[in-house]
Each structure stands twice: as C-alpha cells, then as structure tokens.
Structure 1
Amino acid sequence: MNNENTRTIKPNTKYKHFKGKEYLVLHMAKHSETLEDMVVYQALYGEYGIWVRPLDMFLEKIERDGKSVNRFEEIVE
C-alpha cells in the first residue's frame, strides 16, 4: 500500500488524524515477529495514550465523505 506513497514520517512531529484529533509521533519501530515498520505515536488529548500502527496504515489514504484523504496529515506550525 505504501508503494506509491512518497511521504515520510518524522519523529517529534505532530499529525492530525482524519477525524480531527492531534497526535505526536514519538518513534519508528519494527514489529518483533514480522519486522514490519511501525509508527509509535501519542495522543495529544485525554489521557495522552500511546499507540502503535503499521507505517503503511499510518500513511494510507482513506475515503471520507466521498473524498480520498490521508489518514494522518502532518501539522505544519
């Protein structure tokens, strides 16, 4: 899924989820069994939970209200 995607993930950078919440990418990691690239990120709201998502899924486009949008978009400050 990441074949055509030229975006890269930058640790210590904020990203906005397509549903509107903001997150901070903490690290890149590898899955211990599959060696799949993973993104470790923290919610910037609520209890500030820490999450892990496959890189391809983090970078993928999803369909929202009939439009193709990035699941996560870098916040440029």
Structure 2
Amino acid sequence: MTRKIETQRPYRHFKGKLYYVHNIVTHTETEEVLVSYQALYPPYGMFVRPLDMFMEEVEDGREDNITNQKYRFELYDGK
C-alpha cells in the first residue's frame, strides 16, 4: 500500500505537535517534490520538507516518539 499525503488537512508529527499541510509543490530547479506545511501553534511558522522525508518511518526505539507513530507525520483525526 502506497501512502498518499492529503492536502489541506492536519497532520501530527511523531513528537506530538500538529501541522497543517497546505500543498505538495515542486522545486523549480531540481524538480524535487516538497510538502508545504504550517505549524498549528504560535508563531505558526511555514515550512517545506522533501516529500520522502515527510512520509518516512520513525526509527524504532526513538525516545522522542511520544505519539508512538509509525510515520514521521500522520493524518490527524482529532484523537
């Protein structure tokens, strides 16, 4: 099963904070696919990250994986 990132939806980072995915964008020079997202906490910073990194699995045994997630970012369902 291939994961697909849904845009205009909230995601939870494995360290517990929430982010809003605005869009999937392409770098003009390298054509690298990036995720554009925003923190849902002050000061509401905007970020981009390579799609592959956004979708990667969290390494086993990471003590900072407070949400016990499989992936770095997972779609947030309000729970």
* Per-residue deviation, residues 27-75 of structure 1 (Å, max 9, x unmatched): 1100121101100000000110000000000000021535872000101
CA RMSD of superposed structures (Å): 1.9
Query: What TM-score results when the alignment is normalised by the length of structure 1?
Result: 0.84
Greater percentage in strand: 1
Share of identical aligned residues, percent? 48
Structure 2: stretches of 5+ with no match in the other structure: 63-67
Q: Corresponding residue for 2:61?
A: 65
Aligned pairs (5 A) from 1:1-77: 6-65=2-61, 69-77=70-78
Following TM superposition, the consecutive aligned residue runs of length 4 or more in structure 1 with deviations greater than 4 angstroms are none
The alignment covers a number of residue pairs equal to 73
Structure 1: stretches of 5+ with no match in the other structure: none
